[in-house]
Structure 1
């Protein structure tokens, strides 16, 4: 399942201003987004998140909310640490999660809007140490091939 992703008034990396990038989204995520829309609606121009007056949400506004949310959601020790210090940390955590779940790195790179080279540059340590998992995948595939 995919959903078109637009960035009004801004250009994606090396893409035309009018470009739409397809972003595959798992059903559980789409349900969460739809529940959010059912509860809060969208801005007149279709944006999912907006300022309380309906305008564009400025980074200083969501950063302030983020800081307060961290105090509420995290234990004091974590809230006082660099853990998830900025909202962008969620993107990195999400990509790391995909890779840890075993998502193909090329697919993860595509979903993140990266090249595979960029993905490996920044996420190599997530992919490291997976020898046993790789051996199990090869072993299973070889056993299936022998049985075919």
Structure 2
């Protein structure tokens, strides 16, 4: 039997039960050994599964995804999300201004 995730994708029942953190660590270590150079393996890059989650959430925010949506996907409140990931929204002023200008232009065209 499949279960639904918050993103709407069905998971097989075999994948919808908890996984031991120690098993995740072993898989991460093995994956890093297979994919990374020796120098990368000695770095903190993707050292823990959380690092990949942090990178994903940071990327979603940096791409301009609305914080309430990212918070929902990440299982955070918007307040916690912006406290932990504030760095990911720094420097987006120009992109935000461009989106506002486009929205205003669209309003002018519609009128």
TM-score, length of structure 2 as denominator length: 0.83
How big is the alpha-carbon RMSD for the aligned residues of Structure 1 and Structure 2? 2.2
Structure number with greater CO (CA < 8 Å, separation at least 6) is 2
Query: Are residues 57 and 115 of structure 1, via their aligned partners in 2, closer, same or farther at CA, if it must alter by over 3 Å?
Result: closer
Structure 2 alignment gaps of length 5 or more: none
Point out 4+ residue stretches in structure 1 off by more than 3 angstroms.
Answer: none
Distance 1:140 1:58 in 2: 48
Map 1:1-148 onto structure 2 (within 5 A).
Answer: 4-5=4-5, 23-25=6-8, 30=9, 42=12, 46-48=13-15, 57-148=19-110
Give the deviation of 1:133 after TM superposition.
0.3
Equivalent residues, number: 108
Structure 1 alignment gaps of length 5 or more: 6-22, 35-41, 51-55
Distance 1:66 1:136 in 2: 40
Give the deviation of 1:64 after TM superposition.
1.5
Give the deviation of 1:65 after TM superposition.
2.0
Give the deviation of 1:94 after TM superposition.
1.4
Give the deviation of 1:61 after TM superposition.
2.3
Distance 1:116 1:75 in 2: 37
Larger helix share, 1 or 2? 2
